[in-house]
Amino acid sequence: MSDLRMNSVFGAVLASVLGVMAVGVAADAIIEPHYPEKAAFLPEVEVDTGGGGPAAPAGPPDFGTLFADPTALAELVARGERVRAQCVSCHTFDAGGAEGIGPNLHDAFGRVPGSHPGYSFSEAMTGHGGIWDYLQLNDFLTSPARDTPGTKMAFAGIRNEQDRVAIIAYMRSISPNAVPLPAPLPVAAPAEGEAEPAEGEAAPAATPG
């Protein structure tokens, strides 16, 4: 191949490369790319709290009112007997019943925690203190691990307050230990705009839940 022909081929290739580069530069000049500063769009969401601020922590159930009505108490005991189905895999409830994974609970109401004979309790339970009364049982059954850190009881707790009050009513009904009812809780003052109960008219009884 002659030098002239090789020079022609080389010149054609160089011209093609320069042409492609020129087209790219011209395209960038005509169409200017605009890239976002952030990789994605994150919408700002405002949480509606309802205007009431953080909810106040709920107080204990009003056992003094709930258990004072014999008819309501009988209904709670019947419900508690059904709720105990959550417990029978670990506990027995009959008088003189055998120990299971947990102790027999026939006379647990009014008993000193960690004192049932024949059962090996954790140090956390034997050091609990007090007696199993209305409020102690309510706190423990809400969350055993939180109430008694180190307890062997691997149970999340009964979060439904009506069920919890009902099982306490049932445990009380099968226990010979008499624990006086606590005084009824004071009736909350009516909210602004609400009328106070007329004299001689009983305020509505508090209900769990």
Q: H or E segment at 124? A: helix 123-126
The range of the structural domain enclosing residue 153 comes to 63-173
Domain count, the chain: 1
Considering only residues 132 and 20, tell me which one the structure prediction assigns the higher pLDDT: 132
**Residues 177, 35: Cα–Cα separation, whole Å:** 77
Task: Tell me, yes or no, whether 149 lies in a domain.
Answer: yes
Residue 163 lies in a domain: yes
| pLDDT recorded at residue 9 | 54
Domain assignment present for residue 102? The answer is: yes
Using an 8 Å Cβ cutoff, are 114 and 126 in contact? yes
> Residue 124: what residue type?
A
Q: What does each C-alpha distance from 155 to 47, 87, 102, 135, 184 come to in angstroms? A: 34, 9, 11, 19, 30
Domain for residue 42, yes or no? Answer: no
Cα radius of gyration rounded to whole Å, the chain: 37
The CATH number of residue 90's host domain is: 1.10.760.10
Residue 187 pLDDT class (50, 70, 90 cuts): confident
By the 8 A CB rule, do 179 and 136 touch?
A: no
Measuring CA to CA, how many Å separate 11 from each of 14, 20, 163?
A: 5, 14, 93
Please tell me the distance from the alpha carbon of residue 38 to that of residue 30, in angstroms, as a whole number. Answer: 25
* pLDDT tens, residue by residue, 67-108: 999 999 999 999 999 999 999 999 999 999 999 999 999 999
Name which of 100, 172, 162, 93 is nearest 131 in CA terms. 172
The answer to whether residue 168 is domain-embedded is: yes
Asked, for residue 12, whether it belongs to a domain, the answer is no
Average pLDDT over residues 37-42: 43
**Cα(44)–Cα(73) distance, integer angstroms:** 51
Q: Provide the pLDDT for residue 177.
A: 85
Give the pLDDT band of residue 150 (cuts 50, 70, 90).
Answer: very high
**Residue 142 forms part of a structural domain:** yes
Tell me the torsion sign for CA atoms 160, 91, 104, 146. Answer: negative
pLDDT per residue over 174-186, tens digit each?
Answer: 998 879 999 999 8
Q: Would you say residue 32 lies in a domain?
A: no
- What is the C-alpha separation between 139 and 45, in angstroms, rounded? 37
* 46 vs 1, more confident: 1
Question: What are 198's two structure tokens?
Answer: 């007329």
* Per-residue pLDDT reduced to its tens digit, 101-131: 999 999 999 999 999 998 999 999 999 999 9
pLDDT band at 59; cut points 50, 70, 90: confident
Q: Are 48 and 141 in contact (CB under 8 A)?
A: no
